[in-house]
Each structure stands twice: as structure tokens, then as C-alpha cells.
Structure 1
């Protein structure tokens, strides 16, 4: 155990005494800091099987189950090589994300990352790059942190890859994508995301995992995946805490 971890473990009883562990969703007492109570755990919806091998959507039709791929990915293959979602976007995951991102409760990052890590497999001896979806500098300054970058760093601590938090940059300030249609989202993001020139040499020939808190329509992730592939990345998977299913409002 590293010295920093030993110190943290030694101080844990004092921290628990001063700040008794509470569930970040309902406020009930829990056994450990950064955990959810049993009832709130049960409210999280974990992607089940069978699911599309490409995008992780649940498969309902027999035809889709036969080929292990949804009709969306069959008809229009995505640029990415797979999606790893810790949960399906619902009321519980939405509240966690709001507390984390807009409530500035960045102490939730380790919890969210552990849930993501449980869905991410690292194949063979190849160590992937963990690359967060970038924020525009004005958004970063106003919020104070990039929620995706914190998740990427936590995933690196869990052995899921090497984090490069500034591999991508958002070159123009885009409007909020909430409420926009797919074509409107794509138009708003056109030319907005590119690889950082100083990091291109580190990207070439590597497999990457794009990290974000929520995967919605895929417009932002598609722009990031396209930028990474153009920079010479071999493949890109997507890892997120919550996956919005078609028709779900966000």
C-alpha cells in the first residue's frame, strides 16, 4: 500500500466521525464514504443482456439477437468500436449526475468511475488511452472542472488505461445540446472538436477509450471519435456512467 493510501486509511475513522457517511442521493446513513444505500442502489438500472455488441442497446427482437447487433448499428455502423455504460439513464442516475456535475460534488467521481470500470474490459497486454470529452475553456472556467476528465483519471487509478486529459480540445463554444434534434446537434458540433497538436504523437497507433458522464444522442461522442481516428488512433470505445436510451428525455 502506498504511503498516501496508508495515510488516508489511517485518517478514515476521524473523517467518518466528523463527516458521517451518507448516501449522496437520499442522505441516509451508509457504511462507507462515497457509497449508496441499498434502496438507492436498487434504483440504478444496469444494462442487461442480450445487448448489441456494438452500442450496448438492449436487444428485443429475435432477428437482432441472432446477430448480436441492433438494427441501428447494422444499417449505419458507428465510428466507435463499442459502448460501455455503467447504467441506463433514469431518475436515480440523473440525480447522481446532477449532484456530481452541477452540484460540484466531485467526491462522487470515484464512485461513478468504479461503476464504469466494472463494465470496461482491457484486452490483452494493450493499454488503452483514456481520453475525456473536452469542455470549451469558458465552460471549464465557469464550472471549475471537467467532469469527464476526473472520471478518466479515476479509471486510470483502477487500471483501465493511461489518462490523457487534454488529448482533445473544443475550439468553439457550442450551445447547450439539450432539446436539439440529431441534425441540429451535429451542426452545432461541426468543427468544434479536434486533437491537440502537442498530443497527436501520443495518439498514433493506440487504442482509446473516450470517457464521458452521459452518452445522449451520440453527436458529441461521434465528433470526438472522428477527431481521434483522424489523429491516427487505431480504435475508440466509449465509456460512460449513464446511457440515454432512444426516446428518453434529458
Structure 2
């Protein structure tokens, strides 16, 4: 006869397996979201900080790969599969470049990855390694900085762009519908902040969005610069205790 601890372990395994099956059945598509760090830094006077792991790439950051049901319902916290950093150690170099955390005060990007996995990754039906690997593959596939640059849209602090031109450039570049989330900088200008691209339930192919987020931007938008000079260090934060209030995880 099995011991109580063994029975409990078997029950937990069955429960987790059933949750994974339910997640796989419910999953309709993903929103793959890329964030422009230059916009993040300029939303408030608090700015942004260099992560404890060092300087990230001067490029779009991965914000997340978010699972949704076909009708547009977000799938979150489907089970309690734990996060183990050693499962993605081979991906860490790329993660530090493109999936970093520039929130102030400086923090470890691993905390961001853990939060993303426990909230969204557990609903993907993928292993931890697969989830992060597929997300990085999508980042490499969708080179937004190049897509925009090829259409004459480059980061600048001396002008703005037509929002429709930005949206058309991205639609042409990815070959599918997409959504753009705007924000405001400290001068009350509308800035392009996040780009939403839809991906199939295999987290592999770009698709037309079954449901588009309802975002609103102004006819003219700013696509500002992002440089290492914008990243503060810990000392600067101690001198200026203001903290950013925007959501980052």
C-alpha cells in the first residue's frame, strides 16, 4: 500500500497534468509584445536604471509572450509549476540582452523572468526552456528596429512621425495585423511604447490577430532615442528617490 506522501505526490502529478491539458485546449493564440526602452525611460523624471547584470542591447526589449484563448481572454496562473533558473542557463546571454529589467532601483532580470513564467509561461503548455527559447526566436524573427528603419522611421529626439506610417511599416514588415500601445513622456508628448504581434498556439508563426487590443494613439507620435547614457546607476537613484509608477511586469 502506498504511503500518504507517495499518494499525495501522485495526486499532485495528476492534477498538474490535467491543468496542462486544459491549458493546451484553451489556448488560442499569443500576444508577443515588444517594448521600446527609450519610451520606458522617458515616461517620468525617474528615468531608468542599468540592471545589476549589466547593460542590455540598444534594441527593442521582450515584454512578454502572453497566452490568450480564442475569444481574447487572457490565460494566467494556470498552475504552480516552479521556475528554475538553471533550466534556461543556456539562454541567459540572449535574455540579458533582450529581456532585461531597467526599472529603478536596479534589480536582477531573473526576478522578471520568474514573474513572467509563474504568471504566463505556466499557461503555455510549454516547458520553461521551450517557453523562453521560443520567445527569443520570435524576437530574432521580428526585428522591429530594422523594419522601422527600412521605412525611414528611426529613433530621434528632434521630431515625430505619422502614427499611420509607423503602423503600416510594422504591418508590412511582419505581414499581419498588429497593435501599438502608446504612452506619454514627461513633456506630455505621445510616444510609441509597445508593439503587439499575434502568434499561433505553437508560438512559432505570426498570424493575423483574432482579437486586437483597443489602444489609442495620436496622429503624430514620438519614437525617441535609447542610449546607455539614459541608464542611471545606483548612486543616481540614491540621490533621486522618485520611483517609476508604470507597470513593468
- Same-fold status (TM-score > 0.5): no
Which of 1 and 2 has higher RCO (CA within 8 Å, sep 6+)? 2
TM range (shorter): under 0.3
Structure having the higher Rg: 2
- Which structure shows the higher strand fraction? 2
TM-score, normalization: structure 2? 0.27
Q: TM-score, normalised by structure 1?
A: 0.27
